[in-house]
């Protein structure tokens, strides 16, 4: 396999493998990287995620037509003199942005000989893993809280995903998944939060945004943060484009969390390098209800590197943003309304300068929670 797994904080690097590796010194999940290819934008071919294959590991793609989602200019910033674009990620094949990560991760793990892929998501990541495993001819086994139910579970089951209910709170499913993989060498832990391949797939979001803006980076991106993959994918994607000279800057990337579960916002406000685990409250944004993000230190470093803000929005703000999106014709799930809620707050506060460009990913379809 091309490239290396590298530590975001030190010079540790190792050969890519199906095993989920952590830095032996820093204890953090690794990310995948290869030398920047010599390439011009005119050399890009095809559509969707695999248009950017030159920046990804060389693999035989497992694809369902992911990526290539529209960048739609919104009316919401007009009265403030700000250009706002929605990045329509809920139009991906399984209804969320996670398809980018799953497409690349499943492709790479199949290439490395994996047969049974394990994760601990009962949500969009689980659905994406089940779908891409089905497309790849691999098995997907999802450890989920016993209480999990609803459309996302039905979606996972429909793709043929094997569901393993785990009694107890959410972290119990994670522990059980890790234990199963440690005991059975046929199982590969394909964690959407920690896999270097999953994160590499998410960098394509930055490439598409920049290309749709004629190879200009927007001034700002407002992103919801749960596990932080979306924010980090944007950060590494724009960083790569900057190193190629295809864009002139990295946008300020702002993180939005629900007040009910905001470990990144709390750590950012207090100036901590790492988030502390929080006791999560109830929130409609269940997809981002992650009390201790595995890549927390990396998220905070990326936020600070771009000069981004971190803000926590209330349940009322999330629901208002979701309602207003629907009334403009965009049907997204509550978790996908986190970033728009943050956007509305920043617009109202006069945070953006006139003439600035802001991109907001809409991460998941409203049909997911109907
Ligand atoms: Zn390290």
Q: Tens digit of pLDDT for each residue in 209-224?
A: 999 999 999 999 999 9
Q: How far is the CA of 325 from the centre of ligand 1 (A)?
A: 41
pLDDT in tens, 160-181: 999 999 998 778 899 999 999 9
pLDDT at residue 63, as a whole number:
98
pLDDT digits (tens, 9 = 90+) for 98-156: 999 999 999 999 999 999 999 998 899 999 999 999 999 999 999 998 888 899 999 99
pLDDT at position 106, please? 98
Q: Residue 23: its pLDDT value, please?
A: 98
Provide mean pLDDT across the span 181-200: 96
Query: Ligand 1: distance of its center to the CA of 113 in Å?
Result: 27
- Looking at every residue in the chain, the average pLDDT score rounds to 96
pLDDT for residue 339: 98
pLDDT value for 20: 86
pLDDT at 128: 98
The whole-number pLDDT of residue 14 equals 97
Which segment of 52-61, 166-175, 272-281, 312-321 scores lowest on mean pLDDT?
166-175
* CA of residue 30 to ligand 1 center, whole Å: 8
Q: How far is the CA of 299 from the centre of ligand 1 (A)?
A: 15
ipTM of the complex: 1.00
Q: Provide the pLDDT for residue 146.
A: 86
User: What interhelical angle do 204-212 and 229-244 show, nearest 10?
Assistant: 60
How far does the centroid of ligand 1 lie from the alpha carbon of residue 22, in Å? 8
By residue count, the chain amounts to: 370
Q: What spacing in Å lies between the alpha carbon of 264 and ligand 1's midpoint?
A: 21
Q: Given this model, what pLDDT does residue 217 score?
A: 98
CA of residue 194 to ligand 1 center, whole Å: 14
- Burial of residue 75 (CB within 10 Å: 0-12, 13-18, 19+) is exposed
Q: Cα(8) to centroid of ligand 1, in Å?
A: 7
Distance (angstroms) between ligand 1 centre and the Cα of 24 equals 7
Q: What is the pLDDT of residue 370?
A: 85
Q: How many angstroms is it from 54 CA to the middle of ligand 1?
A: 26
Mean pLDDT of 269-275: 97
Architecture of domain 71-96+197-369: 3-Layer(aba) Sandwich (3.40)
Q: pLDDT value at position 147?
A: 82
Backbone angles phi, psi at 92, to 5 degrees: -65, 165
Alpha carbons 101 and 189: distance in angstroms, whole number: 14
3-class SS at 257? Answer: strand
Q: How far is the CA of 6 from the centre of ligand 1 (A)?
A: 8
Q: What is the mean pLDDT of residues 254-274?
A: 97
Q: How big is the CA angle at 369 (ends 363 and 205), to the nearest 5 degrees?
A: 10
Q: How far is the CA of 291 from the centre of ligand 1 (A)?
A: 23
> Ligand 1 centre from 273 Cα, in Å?
14
Return the CATH number of the domain spanning residue range 115-189: 3.40.50.1100
What is the distance in A from the centroid of ligand 1 to the CA of 62? 31
- CATH 3.40.50.1100 domain position(s) in the chain: 71-96+197-369, 115-189
Calculate how far, in angstroms, residue 301's C-alpha sits from the geometric centre of ligand 1. Answer: 14
Is 218 in contact with 205 (CB distance < 8 Å)?
Answer: no
14 Cα to the center of ligand 1, angstroms: 11
For the segment 85-92, the average pLDDT, to the nearest whole number, is 98
Q: What is the pLDDT of residue 367?
A: 95
Residue pointed to by tokens 């975001």: 8
Residue 26 alpha carbon to ligand 1 centre in Å: 4
Q: Which pLDDT tens digit goes with each residue over 295-345?
A: 999 999 999 999 999 999 999 999 999 999 999 999 999 999 999 999 999
pLDDT of residue 77: 95
Q: Which of 154, 155, 153 is nearest to 145 (CA)?
A: 153
Dist. CA 201 → ligand 1 center (Å):
22
> How far is the centre of ligand 1, averaged over its atoms, from the C-alpha of 208 (Å)?
30
């Amino acid at each position: 396999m091309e490239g290396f797994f590298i530590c975001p904080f030190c010079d540790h690097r190792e050969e890519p493998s199906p095993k989920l590796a952590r830095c032996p010194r820093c204890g953090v999940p690794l990310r995948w990287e290869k030398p920047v290819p010599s390439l011009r934008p005119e050399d890009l071919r095809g559509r969707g995620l695999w248009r950017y294959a030159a920046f990804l590991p060389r693999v035989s793609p497992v694809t369902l037509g992911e990526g290539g989602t529209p960048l739609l200019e919104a009316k919401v910033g007009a009265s403030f003199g700000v250009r706002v674009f929605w990045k329509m990620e809920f139009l991906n094949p399984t209804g969320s942005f996670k398809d980018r990560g799953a497409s690349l991760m499943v492709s790479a793990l199949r290439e490395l000989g994996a047969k049974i892929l394990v994760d601990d998501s009962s949500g969009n990541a689980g659905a994406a893993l089940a779908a891409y495993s089905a497309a790849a001819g691999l098995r997907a086994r999802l450890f989920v809280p016993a209480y999990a139910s609803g459309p996302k579970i039905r979606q996972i089951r429909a793709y043929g995903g094997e569901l393993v209910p785990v009694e107890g709170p959410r972290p119990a499913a994670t522990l059980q998944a890790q234990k199963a993989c440690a005991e059975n060498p046929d199982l590969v832990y394909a964690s959407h939060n920690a896999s270097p391949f999953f994160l590499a797939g998410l960098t394509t979001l930055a490439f598409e945004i920049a290309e749709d803006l004629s190879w200009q980076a927007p001034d700002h991106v407002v992103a919801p943060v749960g596990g932080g993959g979306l924010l980090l994918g944007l950060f590494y994607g724009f960083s790569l484009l900057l190193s190629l000279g295809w864009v002139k800057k990295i946008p300020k990337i702002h993180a939005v969390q629900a007040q009910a579960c905001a470990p990144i916002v709390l750590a950012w406000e207090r100036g901590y390098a790492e988030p502390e685990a929080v006791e999560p409250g109830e929130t409609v944004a269940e997809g981002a209800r992650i009390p201790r993000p595995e890549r927390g230190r990396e998220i905070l470093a990326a936020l600070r590197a771009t000069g981004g803000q971190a803000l926590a929005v209330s349940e009322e703000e999330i629901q208002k943003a979701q309602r207003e999106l629907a009334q403009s014709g965009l049907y997204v799930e509550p978790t996908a309304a986190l970033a728009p809620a943050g956007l509305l707050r920043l617009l109202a506060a006069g945070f953006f300068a006139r003439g600035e460009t802001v991109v907001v990913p809409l991460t998941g379809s409203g049909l997911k929670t109907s």
